Amino acid sequence: MAIQRPKGTQDLLPGTVEQWQYLEETMRCVCREYGYDEIRTPMFEATELFQRGVGQTTDIVKKEMYTFLDKGDRSMTLRPELTASVCRAYVENKLYGQPQPIKLFYIGPMFRYERPQSGRFRQFHQFGVEVLGADQAVVDAEVISLVWDLYKRLGLTKLEVHVNSVGCPVCRPKHRVQLQEFLTTRRDGLCKDCLDRFDRNPLRILDCKNPACQAATIGAPTTRDTLCEDCSTHFEKVLAFLEAAGVVCRVNPRLVRGLDYYTKTAFEVMVEEIGAQSAICGGGRYDGLVEEIGGPPTPGFGFAMGMERILAALQVQHKLPEEKPRVFAMLIALGEKAQIEGFSLMSALRTQSIPVSMDLLNRSLKAQLKAADRQGARYALILGEQELEEKVLLIRDLTLGEQNQVPLSKAVEEIKKMYQRGVNA
Ligand code: ATP
Ligand code: MG
281 CA to centre of ligand 2 in angstroms: 12
Nearest CA to ligand 1 atom 2: 279
> Which ligand is the nearest neighbour of the Cα of 63?
2
Nearest CA to ligand 1 atom 16: 306
Asked if 134 contacts 300 with a C-beta cutoff of 8 angstroms, the reply is no
234 CB less than 6 Å from ligand 1? no
Asked if 169 contacts 158 with a C-beta cutoff of 8 angstroms, the reply is no
**pLDDT over 70 at 259, yes or no:** no
349-394 residue pLDDT tens: 999 999 999 999 989 999 999 999 988 899 999 999 999 999 999 9
DSSP 165-215: E---TTTHHHHHHHHHHHHHTTGGGS-HHHHHHHHH-GGGGGG---HHHHH
Q: Which atom of ligand 1 is nearest to the CA of 309?
A: 20
C-alpha distances in angstroms, 76 versus 40, 69, 87, 289, 291?
18, 6, 17, 20, 21
280 CB less than 6 Å from ligand 1? yes
> Which ligand is the nearest neighbour of the Cα of 117?
1
169 CA to centre of ligand 2 in angstroms: 24
- Report how far residue 377's alpha carbon sits from residue 380's, in angstroms, rounded to the nearest whole number: 7
Asked if 54 contacts 84 with a C-beta cutoff of 8 angstroms, the reply is yes
C-alpha distances in angstroms, 408 versus 21, 239, 329, 382, 415?
37, 67, 16, 11, 11
Tell me the β-bridge partners of 136: none
Asked if 307 contacts 20 with a C-beta cutoff of 8 angstroms, the reply is yes
Closest of 74, 60, 180, 182 to residue 124, by C-alpha: 60
Cα 62 to its chain centre, rounded Å, is 24
Inter-helix orientation angle 17-34/137-154, to 10°: 140
Asked if 218 contacts 179 with a C-beta cutoff of 8 angstroms, the reply is no
111 CB less than 6 Å from ligand 1? no
120 CB less than 6 Å from ligand 1? yes
Backbone angles phi, psi at 134, to 5 degrees: -150, 130
pLDDT for residue 260: 60
176 CA to centre of ligand 2 in angstroms: 23
410 CA to centre of ligand 2 in angstroms: 61
Can you tell me the mean pLDDT for 165-177?
Answer: 91
Q: How many CB atoms lie within 10 A of CB 252?
A: 18
281 CB less than 6 Å from ligand 1? yes
**What integer best gives the mean pLDDT of the chain?**
94
pLDDT for residue 391: 96
Can you tell me the mean pLDDT for 29-33?
Answer: 98
Q: Residue 425: exposed, middle, or buried by beta-carbon count in 10 A (0-12, 13-18, 19+)? A: exposed
Q: How confident is the model at residue 249 (pLDDT cuts 50, 70, 90)?
A: very high
Residue type, 128: G
CA dihedral of 114, 120, 126, 131, whole degrees rounded to 10: -70
Candidate from 20, 82, 126, 130 with most ligand 1 atoms within 8 A of CB, to mutate: 126
- Report how far residue 71's alpha carbon sits from residue 79's, in angstroms, rounded to the nearest whole number: 19
Tell me the β-bridge partners of 251: 163
**pLDDT over 70 at 245, yes or no:** yes
101 CA to centre of ligand 2 in angstroms: 29
The least confident of 82-96, 104-118, 196-210, 288-302 is 196-210
Backbone angles phi, psi at 107, to 5 degrees: -140, 130
Candidate from 63, 114, 120, 262 with most ligand 1 atoms within 8 A of CB, to mutate: 120
pLDDT for residue 1: 87
Q: Which atom of ligand 1 is nearest to the CA of 60?
A: 7
Residues 144-172: b if buried by 16+ CB within 10 A, e if exposed: bbbbbbbbeebebeebebbbbbbbbeebb
Pairing mode, if any, of strands 379-383 and 329-333? parallel
**pLDDT over 90 at 155, yes or no:** yes
Nearest CA to ligand 1 atom 25: 120
Backbone angles phi, psi at 223, to 5 degrees: -60, -30
413 CA to centre of ligand 1 in angstroms: 53
> Which ligand is the nearest neighbour of the Cα of 8?
1
For the chain, percent of residues with pLDDT exceeding 90: 80
55 CA to centre of ligand 1 in angstroms: 16
